[in-house]
Amino acid sequence: MLRILVASSKGGVGKTTVSTTLAGYSAISGTRTVLVDADPQGSSTIWCEKRALAVPESAVAVVDGTRRKKWEKRIPEDAQVVVIDAPAGAMTDDLEPFLEIADAVVTPVLPSVLDLEATVRFLDSLAEFPRIKRGKLPLGLVANRLKPHTQASQQVVAQLQNWPCELAAQLRDSQAYVLLAGLGKCLFDYHSETVRSQQQDWEPLLSWLRHKGSGGKPAK
């Protein structure tokens, strides 16, 4: 079982978009997938419910992760991939139950000074968590909503590449994510040329998760 925690102390960075896209990709690939919605807003839960109606052949099971002591027991035993959408604004103490069982942590970052500063504080907090401190829990950054040809986005990417944790992916800004979320779908449900170019943005993250989630061993 691969357990992916998507977390950030900053709201509005695309945490749920990353969570639902990863879960959708996994389900479409034929993997038994569970999305643990630990955010009280319940956006991931709504997405899963809509997906079950729109594309039942690749539905994603959802578990209420807001109940600290009960959510883990509700994950089906045959689950192969578990994506955890952490609560917005959570810091390390709030995330401890998820950090204890996660195989990888993914943190989205927006290209703005305020978001970078908030992420630094969050990462400093995470760095003290024992599993991360010992190098047992990999942490990857996702630069989100980039405008690749702008100087601001280029500067942010350059800055993130110099941070101690890995920059696992660079996702360009697109309204497609908002539209797809409302349908219970994700980029990987479609195959047009335009969508395929955006799907390529995700391949570095997917590759990173395959590698890190297997303990650094080549994925089978």
CATH of the domain at 120: 3.40.50.300
Output the pTM of the full model: 0.93
* Within-domain flag for 49: yes
pLDDT attached to residue 3: 96
Domain boundaries, position 188: 2-207
In a domain, 217, yes or no: no
Residue 7 contacts residue 86 (beta carbons within 8 Å): yes
Strands (E), the chain: 2-6, 33-37, 61-64, 81-85, 104-109, 139-146, 166-172
Low pLDDT (below 70) residues in the chain: 69, 213-220
> Tell me, what's the pLDDT at 162?
87
Among candidates 7, 213, 13, which has minimal Cα distance to 95? 7
Are 61 and 33 in contact, with CB atoms under 8 Å apart?
A: yes
Q: What pLDDT score does 18 carry? A: 97
In a domain, 45, yes or no: yes
Residue 202 belongs to a domain = yes
Q: Using CA atoms, how far apart are residues 135 and 151, in angstroms rounded to an integer?
A: 33
Q: What is the pLDDT of residues 168-204, one digit of tens each?
A: 999 999 999 999 999 999 999 998 888 888 999 999 9
User: Residues 85, 17: contact at Cβ < 8 Å?
Assistant: no
Instruction: Determine, yes or no, domain membership for 107.
Output: yes
Q: Looking at the 3D structure of the chain, how many domains does it have? A: 1
